[in-house]
Structure 1
Amino acid sequence: MKNVAIIMGGYSSEYQISLTSGNVVYQYLDKSKYNPYRIHIFKEKWVLVNDNKEEFPVNKNDFSVSMNGEKLNFDVVFNAIHGTPGEDGLMQAYFELLTIPQTSCDYYQSALTFNKRDLLSVLKPYGIKTATSYYLNFGEAVEPEAIIKKVGLPCFVKPNKSGSSFGISKVKTKEELIPAIENAYKEDNEIIIESFLDGTEVSVGVINYKGKITVLPITEIVSENDFFDYEAKYLGKSQEITPARISEELKAKIETVAKRAYEVLKMKGFSRSEFIIVNNEPYMLEMNTIPGMTTESILPQQAKVAGIPLSDLFDNAIELALTK
């Protein structure tokens, strides 16, 4: 039986969601094949947490745990950390140095996809459409006139590296721009300001399933709020319709673009990309490499529609990690 470390938590605002994802993986993983362990990764401590809520420190030198006088090593890591250090390449590089296989993409792809503006810049030459954008780094002069001239109003102000819609604002007037920028800087020292794309939002899961790159059924997102923000994502303020109510022709077009992005980036493991459809053309917003794994999360919903139970989804990820 393989020992599986399910890492969860993290150092970002998303740690709570990550704990939920990690616990779902723990719950659904096939216990007849694997010995799963929950590992909480926080700035102040890395610990194994058992069913009695007892904590055992992780030795960071070799990612082992001493429990009841015995040393526990792990054969594989299931990465369920949203945000830093699980989704930005840090944990991936650490495990690569320790030669412990893990379920997400490699460190370069993690770092690249976590940086929205770098990701979109890399994909652009491959014909993948994106919104018009304006970049800001902390400390740079803010020129509202120049920003609005380039991206127009309304526009979106986003932290460049954060997830779960933390720090994002939809700006409708010039007066709202500076407060929105200050809000985004609370999450990151780099900002991306994008033109508003008026269209249908869809979320597209792409995974390697049994050795084949597979596009899962597409989800259409209908937010009650102004956009797909934190409330819409996690507090039920949106409808997520899978499969999306789009034509076969448009579905094929989105699948082609999502699959191309996955292949171009040499991705592994899970990915979930967000697109806005304008005039029958998909525009990419971002790609998540550690998407939510709660039972309500989009990618597990898509897998369910595709006839892939959660236990198979998680088992597949571990098997691929062990064979790569």
Structure 2
Amino acid sequence: MKHRENNGCRDDKYLHMKTKVALVTGGYTGEAEISFKSSDFVYSQLDKAKYDVYPVTIALDSWFHVSEQGIKIPINREDFSLTIDGHVVKFDVAFIILHGTPGEDGRLQGYFDMIGLPYTSCGALTSALTMNKGYTKSILADIPDLHVANSVLLFESHRRDAVSLITERLSLPYFVKPNAGGSSIGMSKVKEDAALQEALDKAFDAANTGRQVLVEEFVTGREFSQGIFRDSAGELVVLPATEVRTTREFFDFEAKYIPGLTEEITPADLTDEQKDRASRIIREIYIRLNCRGMVRVDFFLEAETDRFYFIEINTIPGQTPQSFIPQQVRAFGMKESDFYAELIEAALSSSTQ
């Protein structure tokens, strides 16, 4: 394992030192609140006998670590290091648990690439691309057995003519969502054209989503979410799927985060053929998009046709105890602590290749 210099130690006897992990959280959007909950859980699961873990908050006004004494210590952005009690802490790896910008859209990954710090998530290009739902669908459209809903991608320049563009090309009901958002913020299901303009305005004006809107024909069926990761040996591992059943019109922000509105079944009740087909598709998605670390793929199984329809991919999936990935890791028979260790070791291994 390749180690950077830590705490100013230079003697060979320090080669057995624990791996220093920057647990990167926070962010510039409303999803920061979820990021903190996710990173708190990851922190609780990481083996402190093996890893020295330093939570690092990325906020608009500052990047910082809060010491055990409650002191706010700024990050040196030249090399993402900390100076604590006169000692410089240089990290071996960044564990990114930051939903939304700049942790999920490639900006932070590009910075880490420039300073040479390994990290646990997809690379800069893949992260940026997958935040754009429309572009992602274009790349995945010809994967065997994977279907994509008919859609229209709208930019700000289309806004004046958006209603006519949609009604000419798509059939009701519509699913309207920001093209670069997360946590289902700004999404609407539209059952009649009279409600379309309000839904478009809501999606266009959603904060930090790039003022682009994706409108899709609504797919009726069962909804699933399924994780996949590359382990420290370089093997792709597909986790068991979770089925999402909600009392709401669709799996929106409230359904995701208000207890009691959604039932989540892990592992999902799928036939062996459906499991094999989903696994094959998800592996191809991971490879096609050049993913790294863990990702989560959301999809529909259309009621009448038994076709899998791609919804979206999440490259920094939530990690609260109730989140899909931890549920699936447990259903797979793995401890979360071992799972997170695999992600760290895989990031370190890939950085030395």
CA distance in 2, matches of 1:283, 1:146: 23
CA distance in 2, matches of 1:135, 1:254: 26
Structure 2 match to 1:281: 307
1:51-89 deviation line (CA, Å, top 9, x unaligned): 443210111111111222222111110000111111111
Q: Is structure 2 residue 33 aligned with structure 1 residue 11?
A: no
Partner-residue secondary structure (3-state), 2:295: strand
Which sits farther off after the overlay, 247-256 or 81-90?
247-256
Q: 2:271 pairs with 222, 247, 270, which one?
A: 247
- Structure (1 or 2) with the greater strand fraction: 1
1:148-179 deviation line (CA, Å, top 9, x unaligned): 23221111111010111011111111121111
TM-score (normalizing by structure 2): 0.89
CA distance in 1, matches of 2:220, 2:342: 37
Which amino acid in the other structure matches residue 171 of structure 2? G
1:86-125 deviation line (CA, Å, top 9, x unaligned): 1111111110111100000111111111111111101113
Structure 2 match to 1:156: 175
Which blocks of at least 5 consecutive residues in structure 2 are unaligned? 1-17
Partner-residue secondary structure (3-state), 2:78: coil
Which sits farther off after the overlay, 127-136 or 297-306?
127-136
Q: Is structure 2 residue 236 aligned with structure 1 residue 219?
A: no
Partner-residue secondary structure (3-state), 2:161: coil
CA distance in 2, matches of 1:259, 1:161: 23
CA distance in 1, matches of 2:221, 2:231: 30
CA distance in 2, matches of 1:176, 1:7: 40
Q: 1:26 pairs with 34, 37, 43, which one?
A: 43
Partner-residue secondary structure (3-state), 1:201: strand
Q: Is structure 2 residue 152 aligned with structure 1 residue 138?
A: no
Stretches (4+) displaced over 3 A: none
Which amino acid in the other structure matches residue 205 of structure 1? G
Structure 1 match to 2:101: 84
Which amino acid in the other structure matches residue 38 of structure 2? S
Q: Is structure 2 residue 229 aligned with structure 1 residue 207?
A: yes
Which amino acid in the other structure matches residue 179 of structure 2? N
Partner-residue secondary structure (3-state), 1:293: coil
CA distance in 2, matches of 1:243, 1:206: 14
CA distance in 2, matches of 1:57, 1:124: 44
Q: Is structure 2 residue 122 aligned with structure 1 residue 96?
A: no
RMSD of the alignment, in Å?
1.2
Compared with structure 1, are the counterparts of its residues 253 and 90 closer, same or farther at alpha carbon in structure 2 (3 Å cutoff)?
same
1:220-271 deviation line (CA, Å, top 9, x unaligned): 0001111001111111211110111121111111111111101122211011
Q: Is structure 2 residue 204 aligned with structure 1 residue 185?
A: yes
Which sits farther off after the overlay, 242-251 or 85-94?
242-251
Which blocks of at least 5 consecutive residues in structure 1 are unaligned? none
Structure 2 match to 1:113: 130
Q: 2:256 pairs with 226, 233, 245, which one?
A: 233
Confirm or deny: 8 A CA contact 1:130 1:284 kept in the other structure: yes
CA distance in 1, matches of 2:347, 2:165: 47
Structure 1 match to 2:334: 308
Structure with greater Cα Rg: 2
Count residues in correspondence: 324
Q: 2:321 pairs with 279, 295, 315, which one?
A: 295
Partner-residue secondary structure (3-state), 2:75: strand
Confirm or deny: 8 A CA contact 1:77 1:102 kept in the other structure: yes
